Amino acid sequence: MHLSAGYNEAVRVLEAAQGDFLVGLVCPAAGSVLQGDVALSSTLAAILGLLDRSAQETDLPRMHLTACSGQPPGPHEQELTTRGTSRYTDPEAMMAAHPDISLVVEISGDSETVRTLRRILPPSVALLDRACAVFLCCLLVMNEVSGQCQTDLRGSRTLLNTIIDELPDDIFFLDDQGRILDVNRQVCERHGVDKQALLHQSSSSVPAGPGQVACGPAHRDWPVLTTLANQREQETLQTWMDEQGRVHYYQVTAYPVFDETGRVHRMIEVRRDVTLRTEMEKRLQQAEKLAAIGELSMYIAHEIRNPLFSIGGFANSLLRSQELTENSREKVRIILEESKRLDKILKNIINFARPTSSELAEVDANKVVAETVQVLGIGSQERGVTLDVQLGEEVPKIRADAELLKQCLINLIKNALEAMPDGGRLTVTTAMERHRVLISIEDTGHGVPVEIQDKIFNPFFTTKKTGSGAGLGLAMTKKIISDLGGDLRLSSRPGKGTQVVLLLHPYVDMEMPAAAVHVGQEPRRET
C-alpha cells in the first residue's frame, strides 16, 4: 500500500466511524529492536499522543489502543501496560484475539511484516505502515506548532491593537501612495466616522481637526510627500480652527517603513494635539520678551531719555528766540513735536516693562463694565455699531484693580470698534464659567487672520498704520490680566468677528450657588 493510499484509507475509516473504534499496534519482532532507536521511540510517542488527543477533541471519534504485537521500544513498555494494552507475539495472534480492530498501525518498517499484514487483514481494517505513521505524526507536530504560532500571533496582534487604540494620538497606516490602509480608534472617534469610510482615501483628505473651518492647504503641509521624496521622517505643525474660532495646533509626523530592498513600502502618519504645549511655549517666549524689554527699558531710561530731554529743552528755547526766521522756527517746532512723540513712546515702553503696580481689592465687575461701556459707547452710534450689554445677575465681586481692569476693557472695546468701520454689533457679557468670573467682548468685525492670531499679543506688533499706535495695547492687556492671576482667551473667525474672554477669580473663593456657577445663566440686559 502506497503512503497516499494508506492515508486516504485512514481518512475513509475515520469519516465512516460512528463511535469509538479500536487500534492495533504492530511493533518489531522480539529481539530485533535496537537499543536507543530514537526514531522508533519518537514515532510511537507521537502515535500515543494522537490517540490521547482524540479523547479530548469533540470533532474526532474516540480511538483506543487495544492490542500490541511484537516488542515496543523500552521507554514505552510500562506505559502500554498502564494503558491496559494486550500484548501478543505476532500480528496473526493479535487479530485473532481482537477481530473488532478497525485500524492497524505498523511501526517496525519491516517489508515482510507489511506484506503479511496486507494478506491477513480484512478489507474493513485500515493499515498504516511506518511511513504513513511518520507522515501523520509530522502533520500532528506541524498542526500543534501552527496552532501555537497562531495563538501567539493573535495575542501579539491584540496587544498591539490595544496599545495603538489607547494612544491619544491619531495614527494612520498608509501605503506607498499615502492612501489609508488602517487607522486607530482615536481617528474614528474624533472625526465621528466609521473606519471603512476612511480606507483607501488619501490621508490629506482627512482634515487636521473635526468641524474644521479654516487651515492651510492640506497638500502644502502634508509631510507624507516629503517623506516619499526624501525617504526619511518628516514633521510639520498644522493649525485648524474650531467652530468657536479657537486655534488648535497639531504636530503631524510621517514615518517611512522600508521593505527588504530598501524601498518605502508603507508609511505611518501620527497626529498629536500639542495645543496646550504650544500655548505654554508661547507664554514662555512672551515672558522672555518681557524680560528683554525690561532690560531695554532701563537702558532707554538712562541713556536715551536724558538726551531727549535736552533736545526738547533746547528746541523750546529756540522757539522763544526772536532771531529765528519763520522757516527755521517751523523746523524747530517739528523737532519739538517729534521729541515729544518719542518721549511718549518711551513712556509706554517703560510702563509696559515695569511690573504692574496694583492694589487688589474687591471689585464689582458689572459696575466696571457698565462704566467703561458708557464712556466708550458715546461714539458707537456714529460708527453704526449697536451695543448689547448683558450683565450676569449673580456675578460675585472679583479680586482685581478697578483702574487696571478698566484700562484692559478700554483697549479691547476700542479694538472691537475699530474692527467694525462699517458698523456691526458689539456684545459685552459678564457671567460665571465654572468658578471664575467671565467678561466677554465680542464684535462682528472682519476678524483676525489665523496666521497672525499668535502675534497680536506680542509687544510692538500692530496692524495699524505707522504712527497710529506702538502695538502695546493688547500686550499690556494680557500682561495685566496675567498679573491679576486670570486668563485671556481669543476666538476669531475671519469675516465673522472676534471674541476676547477675560477670566478672573472671585475676591473670596467660596461655594457658589448652582445658579451662579452655571455658564449659561440668563444675564440681565442693560438698556
| Pairwise pLDDT comparison (376 vs 413), residue with the higher score | 413
Q: Is the CB of residue 470 less than 8 Å from the CB of residue 351?
A: no
Q: What rounded mean pLDDT belongs to the chain? A: 79
pLDDT score of 519 more than 50: no
User: Could you tell me which residues come within 8 angstroms of residue 200 by beta carbon, excluding any fewer than 6 positions away?
Assistant: 179, 180
Burial (CB < 10 A; 0-12, 13-18, 19+), residue 446, is middle
Is 60 in a helix, a strand, or coil? Answer: coil
pLDDT score of 214 more than 60: no
Segment of 52-61, 219-228, 355-364, 473-482 carrying the highest mean pLDDT = 473-482
User: Could you tell me which residues come within 8 angstroms of residue 150 by beta carbon, excluding any fewer than 6 positions away?
Assistant: none
Handedness of CA 23, 28, 34, 39 (dihedral sign): negative
Pick the CATH number of 3-142 from 1.10.10, 3.90.79, 3.40.50, 3.30.1370: 3.40.50
Q: Classify the phi-psi angles of 39: left when phi > 0, otherwise alpha if psi is within -120 to 50, otherwise beta.
A: alpha
Q: How confident is the model at residue 512 (pLDDT cuts 50, 70, 90)?
A: very low
CATH 3.40.50.1820 correct for 169-273:
no
Cα Rg of the chain (Å, integer): 44
pLDDT digits (tens, 9 = 90+) for 64-102: 899 999 888 877 888 888 888 999 988 999 999 999 898
Torsion angle, CA of 330/332/335/336, rounded to 10 degrees? Answer: -100
Q: How confident is the model at residue 144 (pLDDT cuts 50, 70, 90)?
A: confident
Pick the CATH number of 279-353 from 1.10.600, 1.10.287, 1.10.357, 3.30.390: 1.10.287
Going by DSSP bridges, is the β-strand pair 487-493/497-504 parallel, antiparallel, or unpaired?
Answer: antiparallel
What pLDDT was estimated at residue 67? 93
Question: Cell numbers of 112, please?
Answer: 515482510
User: Could you tell me which residues come within 8 angstroms of residue 92 by beta carbon, excluding any fewer than 6 positions away?
Assistant: 116, 120
* Residue ranges per structural domain of the chain: 3-142, 169-273, 279-353, 361-526
Distance CA 505, CA 2 (A): 92
Longest dimension (CA), the chain: 151
What pLDDT was estimated at residue 59? 65
Select from 201, 265, 267 the least CA-distant residue to 234. 267
CATH 3.30.565.10 correct for 361-526:
yes
What pLDDT was estimated at residue 517? 35
| Pairwise pLDDT comparison (517 vs 390), residue with the higher score | 390
| Pairwise pLDDT comparison (519 vs 463), residue with the higher score | 463
DSSP state of 523: P
Q: Is the CB of residue 346 less than 8 Å from the CB of residue 305?
A: yes
What pLDDT was estimated at residue 211? 57
What pLDDT was estimated at residue 351? 66
pLDDT score of 400 more than 90: no
Taking the CA of residue 325 as centre, how many other CA atoms within 13 Å lie in the half-sphere pointing to its CB?
2
What pLDDT was estimated at residue 24? 92
What pLDDT was estimated at residue 428? 92
pLDDT digits (tens, 9 = 90+) for 230-265: 888 888 887 777 766 677 888 888 999 998 888 888
pLDDT digits (tens, 9 = 90+) for 422-471: 888 999 999 998 889 999 999 998 888 877 777 777 777 777 665 555 56
Which helix H or strand E contains 429, and what residues bound it? strand 424-433
Distance CA 398, CA 418 (A): 29
| Pairwise pLDDT comparison (380 vs 330), residue with the higher score | 330
| Pairwise pLDDT comparison (28 vs 352), residue with the higher score | 28
What pLDDT was estimated at residue 83? 86
Segment of 43-47, 268-272, 325-329, 465-469 carrying the highest mean pLDDT = 268-272
What pLDDT was estimated at residue 212? 56
pLDDT score of 153 more than 50: yes
pLDDT score of 404 more than 50: yes
DSSP state of 378: G
pLDDT score of 151 more than 90: no
Distance CA 13, CA 10 (A): 5
